[in-house]
Each structure stands twice: as structure tokens, then as C-alpha cells.
Structure 1
Amino acid sequence: MRFTYAEAMTDPSYHLPLARAAEAAGYASVSVADSLVYPEESEAGYPYTADGDRAFLEDKSFVETFVLIAAMGAVTSTIRFTPFVLKLPVRPPVLVAKQAGSIAFLTGGRLSLGVGLSPWPEDFAAMGVPWARRGRRMDEAIEVVRGLTGGGYFEYHGEFYDLPPVKMSPVPAEPIPILVGGHSEGALRRAARLGDGWMHGGGDAAELDALLARLAALRAEYGTAGRPFEIHAISADAYTADGVRRLADKGVTDLVVGFRNPYVKGPDTEPLSRKIEHLERFAESVIAKTGP
């Protein structure tokens, strides 16, 4: 089992020392939250809170995802970075391919690209991208990013993107894993058909079991069950050695852990020293007993 340290919506100056501390403690990865703008008004709800309330996001700091990964990569040497998740279809996929490929090259392949749909129509509007058919746009964007970061000439002719044979340089020595986030049927199908893995957004054990069962069925349907596939999960079971073993038995490969509730309104007042204590204590009590 591998462990990803999650800390977001905190003092931006904390990210680099936390990445160094997580690397030293034995975490495999650091997750990076993605947010573009906060709309003053929106009829959309947040999909991972019980009541859909999004107010906890207001005035929270989000350093641009690729900028933050590059900065953390420069002060570490082994830990990976996993956007959780990059709002892919609101961005030009050619630019995402250039950014992701450059970071993967400069960090020695320490990027796993978690991607998903934004729940906010306002993100699409702000970026000048239609909200309609966003799922199909997402599918094509994944294909473009994978093709352009693979090396050599790549061309693509889809509904939304059309590229003559082009190539980028540099590209990473190994393919960038593309992990698809989301709990909807469309997201699960996308992960099973196009992804190198799936990212779970949280929920109770019964819901996770149902999602894993559906994902397995879809991978069998698409004929992708035999290829390597990562499953990144958020679970209360992640905080005990026995719980970690139960999740491993279910096929989970990576556990995303954090040590505060991020869904609260107002600023994060926990000091950096306390955050490091939390991540080190977990590493000693759980990672050391269950990690690779």
C-alpha cells in the first residue's frame, strides 16, 4: 500500500516544507488541489459535501496546480505529486500536455495526473469553454494529453480537438499515469476505458464497496481488467493497520490521508509544526507497519 498526504486550503507558504516532511516520513505522494476561480453566485452544489454547500471554499488559497507541483518538485527528490483533481476539460489539452510533460521530465517522472470535471459551470464560462458535452470533451482531452506526452509525432481528429501531426520535447521517459476522478457513472466508465487508475472522492465504506464493484464490472466490460490500474481511495479505514489491510484486500493501491476537516468555513489556523507532527505520527503508527 502507498500513502498520499493531502493538505489543501492552507497557508501557501506551508506547501514546500510539508512536501519535504512527507517525503522524509515515507509518504509516496502529495496530493494537489485544483481551483481556478470562486464565483460570487452559483446554483451548482459541491458534490462531496452532504448538503452541497460550497461556502467553505471562499477565500481559501489555491496556488496554481502545475506551479505548485514544480515548486515542490524542486525541493524534493523522491516523492510523487498527484493533482486531486485537475479540472481538465476547462483547459486547452495541448497546454496541459506541455505543462505535465515538462514537470514529469524535470522531476524524473514524479507526476501522476489526476483529472476530473469541474462541478462549476462558472469555471467553464471563465475559461471560454462550453458547459455542454463536457464529458465527451474530457474524453478527448485525455486522449490528446496522453498522445502528446508519449513522444514522437501525434495527430488527433475529434469533435472538439483537431491536430495535425505534431510533437513535443522534452517528454518524460515513462508514460504519465492518468487517473480519473469522480463517482458518477460517466466518471467510472471513463476511468475503466481510458484511465490508468481511479480517484475516489470520499464517502462511507458501503459506498466505496459499491463503486469498486461497479468499476470492476466496467473494466471487464471494456476489456481493460488485465492492465495495470491504480485505485486511490479516501477512507476512515486508512488510519489503522487492520483497516489498511482490509482496503488492500479490496484492490485499493493508494490511500489519501489528511489530518483535519477541509470542509470548514474560515481560515486554517493549525500551525505548520502541528501539521508536521500529525503526518509524522501517522507515518510511524501506520505507514511503517503497512507501507511498501
Structure 2
Amino acid sequence: MVDSPHGKVRIGVGLVGARSEPELGPEFDELLAALDESEIDSLWLADLPSKAVVDAGVGSTWAAARTRRLKIGTGVTVLPGRNPMLLASELGTLATLAPKRILPVFGIRAAQPHDRQLHPVPGKLPAVFEESLVVLRRLLTEDRITHHGEFFTLDDVTLVPRPARPLDLWLGGRADAGLRRAGRLADGWLASFLTPAETARSRAVIEQAAADAGRTIDDDHFGTNIWLAEPGTDVDAALARAAAQRPDADPREIVGVGWEGTAELIRRHVESGLTKFVVRPSAPVPDWYTYLDRFSQEMGPLQSG
């Protein structure tokens, strides 16, 4: 068990690539069935439209319907380029049907450069992102809203259904501007491709921005993605992908090499002030039942509370 003064340590399963495109549907159902038989409490879907993965929004709906206790997060869903009014309706309905199980995390742009053309925006990306988030939150929390902004206009709009318990809206991001935005606007933060030393600094930046805005973020609402390079997979390829994302960082500070390397990264991030983790396999998983058994054996003892 890894103890943290910031709250319960929780570790969820991340999904990136399928074994093969024709197997995408059956493999996803295999994963959901295996998760339903495990004690793992969360599944996290990526927004990667040009890869062989289920769409994060549709996949969240399917996963919520096929399971009864599993929490489903998106890490991260690109917000600019989506209609925040329609997205609020979709999230409101999904959170009503699966209460306390939907965990949305939003980002400013697609992770893959060639996917960015799929999210055209009517103005500067940060401004569109922030106004989209404001509209989304107001629709999900207020009885009736009127909004006349730079990019969106609503007059006397009521969203039905709305979840009985307001959704926590988390943000990704690692640049200082994104960290400060998380402090001003988010309920939590989920990092990607950051070292433990960087997540410690990032948490401090976010908390200071929140304090400057007269708000607070729950102590246990800070987390990160970690890529696991399992034994028997191409570790060098995983490290090379991390180096391509972060050429200025040691990729072994970002990728967990083996289960013990992943556990050690989690321990170090906990020391940096994080409590929530999404562990993503760096290569397709041949058998989800076997993988989740090992995941539970190796990651389960690290959780607390």
C-alpha cells in the first residue's frame, strides 16, 4: 500500500490500441467482461479517432451499459471543435443513467497532430476551449442559462436531464498556461508525459492559480497517465514514443519499464502529490483476463483507503 496525505490512491486501466481493427468490438467486450469480474474500479478511454480504438464518448456509453459498477473516464477528450451544448446533453444523460460512474477529462487539442484537422474551431484555440468549458459546466449545473459569448450564444436554455450530483470536469495539459487554466476552471487534473518532478511542480502551479481565482481543487483530484511497457513487449519502441513526445526528458521517467518500474513511478508521483493513476499498456494486450489478473496483483497492493 502507498499512503498519501492527499487522499486515497486509485489506479485505473487505460486503453489505447486494439490487437487489430477487425477485433475491435469483440476485444472491447472481452475487456469489459474481464473488468466486471475484477476489482479494478475504472476504465479510461482515449480520444484517438485515427487509431483502432473505440470512440471515447460512444465507448463510455457502451461500457456503462455493459457493466454495473465500473467507472469510465476519458483521458482526454478534445473539447474545442465540439458543440458544448450537445456534449452537455450527452454527458447529462449518460451521468443520469450511470450515476457517479462518469469521469470526463478534457484537453485543448488532439494528441496526434494529424487528428487536429478534425477539430476546427471558430477562433483562437485557448479562448474557444475556455468558453466551451464554461458553457458546458453551466448547462450541467444551472436550472436555466443565458450566455452571450464570443463563440456561443444561448437564450433561456434548460438542459434535461441533468445528473443529480454535478459532474467533476477535469482537464489535462502540461504547459504552464494549461496548468493555470486547470487551476481557474477545473475540478481536477490528469497529466500525460510528465516526470514525477514535473508533476510536483505542476500541482503547485495549479493550486496557486486556483487560490488566485478564489477557488480550491479537492486534495485528491490530481493524477497522471503512466505507460506500462510489459515484459515481452518492445520496450525500446515504447521509450522511443515517449522520447518523441518529450525529447527534453528521460523516457524512463515517463514509461514504466515492467510492472516494478511502473510501481516505482507511481510511488514517486505519489510523493509528488498525485493520488489518481491511469496505467496504459504500451502495446496491444493479447489476453485481457491474463493482463487484468497481473494488473490486480501488481497494482492492487499500491492502492490505499
Q: 1:80 is matched with which residue? A: 71
Q: 1:19 aligns with which of 15, 29, 32?
A: 32
Secondary structure, counterpart of 1:140 in structure 2: helix
Corresponding residue number in structure 2 for 1:252: 274
Identity %: 26
Closer, same or farther: CA 291–201 of 1 in aligned 2, 3 Å:
same
User: Do residues 239 (structure 1) and 262 (structure 2) align?
Assistant: yes
Q: CA deviation at 1:227?
A: 4.8
Match of 1:193, SS state, is: helix
Equivalent AA in structure 2 for residue 19 of structure 1: L
Which deviations, in whole Å up to 9, do the C-alpha atoms of 1:84-109 show, x marking residues without a partner?
A: 11111110100110111111111123
CA separation of 1:154 and 1:124: change in aligned 2, threshold 3 A: farther
In structure 1, the partner of 2:147 is 156
- Output the CA distance in 2 between the equivalents of 1:185 and 1:243: 22
Is this contact kept in 2: 1:105–1:171, CA < 8 A?
yes
8 Å CA contact retained: 1:7, 1:31? yes
Q: For residue 191 of structure 1, report the CA deviation from its aligned partner.
A: 0.8
TM-score in terms of structure 2 length: 0.76
- Tell me, yes or no, if the aligned pair for 1:230 and 1:253 is still in contact at 8 Å: yes
TM-aligned CA deviation for residue 280 of structure 1: 1.9
| Structure 1 stretch displaced more, 69-78 or 200-209 | 200-209
* Counterpart AA for 1:284: Q
Q: 1:5 to 1:238 in 2, by over 3 A?
A: farther
Q: 1:144 and 1:31, CA in 2 relative to 1: closer, same or farther beyond 3 A?
A: same
Query: How far is the alpha carbon of 1:122 from its aligned partner?
Result: 6.4
The question of 1:278 aligning with 2:300 is answered no
Residue 62 (structure 1) shift: 2.9
20-29 or 95-104: which moved more?
20-29
Does the alignment pair 1:5 with 2:13?
Answer: yes
What is the CA deviation profile of residues 177-234 of structure 1, one whole-angstrom value per residue up to 9, with x for unaligned ones?
A: 1110111122111110110001101232222233223223323322323656611213
Structure 1 residue 171: Cα displacement: 1.3
Partners of 1:151 and 1:171 within 8 A in 2: no
Distance 2:202 2:120 in 1: 33
Return the offset for 1:134.
1.0
Given the superposition, is the C-alpha separation of residues 226 and 32 from structure 1 closer, same or farther in structure 2, using an over 3 Å criterion? closer
Flag the 1:127–1:278 CA change in 2: closer, same or farther, 3 A: closer
1:223 and 2:218 are equivalent in the alignment: no
Aligned length: 259
Distance 1:238 1:78 in 2: 29
Indicate the larger mover: 63-72 or 121-130: 121-130
Partner of 2:232: none
CA shift at 1:125, angstroms?
A: 4.7
Between 247-256 and 94-103, the greater mean CA deviation after superposition: 247-256
Judged with a 3 Å threshold, the aligned counterparts in structure 2 of structure 1 residues 289 and 197 are, in CA distance, closer, same or farther, namely closer
Q: Give 5+ residue unaligned stretches, structure 1.
A: 39-59, 263-267
Alignment RMSD (CA, Å): 2.5
Q: Do residues 89 (structure 1) and 111 (structure 2) align?
A: no
* Cα separation, 1, equivalents of 2:170 and 2:277: 14
Structure 1, residues 47-92: CA drift from partner, whole Å, max 9, x if none? Answer: xxxxxxxxxxxxx213222211111111111111111111111101
Structure 2 residue 41 is the aligned partner of structure 1 residue 28: yes
Code of the residue aligned with 1:71 in structure 2: it is W
- Residues 130-141 of structure 1: pairs in structure 2 closer than 5 A: 130=122, 132-141=123-132
- Give the match for residue 129 of structure 1: 121
Q: Is the 8 A contact 2:72 2:101 kept in 1?
A: yes
1:193 aligns with 2:205: no
Aligned to 2:93: 102
Deviation at 1:140, TM superposition (A): 0.9
DSSP-derived class of the 2:147 partner? strand
Question: Conserved in 1, the CA contact under 8 Å of 2:11 and 2:303?
Answer: no
